[in-house]
Homo-oligomer: A and B are copies of this chain.
Amino acid sequence: MQHSAGGRALAIDYDDVLSAQRRLEGVAHRTPVLRSATADARAQATLHFKAEHLQRIGAFKFRGGYNALDRFDAAQQRAGVVAFSSGNHAQAIALSARLKAMRAVIVMPEDAPEAKIAATRGYGAEVVLYDRYTEDREALGRGLAEREGLTLVPPFNHPHVMAGQGTVANELFDEAGELDLLLVPLGGGGLLSGCATVARARYPNCRVIGVEPEAGNDGQQSLARDAIVAIDTPRTIADGAQTAALGDLTFGVIRQCVDAIVTVSDAELVDAMTFMASRMKQFVEPTGCLAVAAAFANAEPWQGLRIGIVISGGNVDPLRFASLIAAP
């Protein structure tokens, strides 16, 4: 379903999220909402952490990927799926395809970490490697899709992906009730657009704020200019948010439903990762800490609020975690 707001049709509405919620029932984990008195004291607010690092494949991406595949028609299911990704989306599609007994082809750069290639193959997907300096992955993927009849599922700019990611906020509200503020990591905008759609429908007074890495604030710029701003691939430890631009579908929802976008520095991300480990005993990837870092950095204006925080994922190699937190 689509509804229009401000003259433009939005890609998804709350019914799409509810449909995704039903499709994910018994398939995705209903991840816990964590609380910490120490975190509350630090932020001077009441924090509810939605723990998507405990989701299948270690990140929220499973929700959108599975929802998209679950909506394939019979012919699409028979032919299979193709996706490009070197990160969590690759594993989300690979696992979802295995669960749906579907063929999956994942296009990955040949210099992707060996562990990620192995993990994707481990889920039974075919991995097609390309040289990121000489080959165009989009052309490669589209060629594969056309030749073999595969359906392409993009990582964020797709209604079924966005609706699937919205179930994160839906479950958070189910557990925590009304919130004053919802803080959501922002890369391409799949998670933020889905979560904002839910907040607008269920708790219109809940402010929704996206959190980007300081070095890659294309979302913040886009909201300010009311047009998608593209930037060079940002240099940040938040590798899940190294997107150059929002999609037209995600931006359409974000400009209507999101109140603001704030940024945090890499140093604030490292501090948040360290806090999550030492105080909450949770192992969270840098991108996964975006909303946590924002809650700590902005304690004063948000003092006393009931804040929902989406922890988006936990897929960081322990050795990389070690080197990040040990850096001066």
Contacts and interface: CB of A to CB of B under 8 A. Distances in A.
Given A32-B32, A323-B326, A318 B278 contact: yes
A75 interface: no
Interface in A279-328: 281-284, 314, 317-319, 321-323, 325-326
Query: SS class of chain A's interface: helix, strand, loop or mixed?
Result: helix
A160 interface: no
Contacts of A32: 32
B317 A53 contact: no
Contacts of A326: 319, 322-323, 326
A126 to B, nearest CB: 22
Nearest to A327: B322
A99 interface: no
Given A281-B284, A282-B283, 6 more contacts: A53-B281, A276-B283, A278-B318, A319-B325, A322-B322, A323-B326
27 contacts: A32-B32, A53-B281, A54-B281, A58-B281, A274-B318, A276-B283, A277-B283, A277-B318, A277-B321, A278-B283, A278-B317, A278-B318, A281-B282, A281-B283, A281-B284, A281-B314, A282-B282, A282-B283, A283-B283, A318-B325, A321-B322, A322-B322, A322-B323, A322-B325, A322-B326, A323-B326, A326-B326
Nearest to A34: B54
A325 B277 CA distance: 14
A198 B282 CA distance: 29
Interface residues of A, number: 21
A165 B281 CA distance: 20
Contacts of A53: 281
Residue of A32, A322, A323 ringed by the most chain B CB atoms within 10 A = A322
A160 to B, nearest CB: 26
Contacts of A278: 283, 317-318
A228 to B, nearest CB: 33
A318 B276 CA distance: 10
A258 B326 CA distance: 41
* Residue of A58, A284, A321, A325 with most partner-chain B CB within 10 A: A321
Among all A-B residue pairs, the 5 with the closest Cβ atoms: A322-B322, A281-B314, A277-B283, A281-B283, A322-B326
Contacts of A318: 274, 277-278, 325
A24 to B, nearest CB: 17
A58 B277 CA distance: 11
A321 B323 CA distance: 11
Contacts of A277: 283, 318, 321
Contacts of A58: 281
A60 to B, nearest CB: 13
Interface string A138-171: 0000000000000000000000000000000000
A109 B198 CA distance: 53
Nearest to A54: B281
A317 B322 CA distance: 12
A161 to B, nearest CB: 23
Contacts of A321: 277, 322
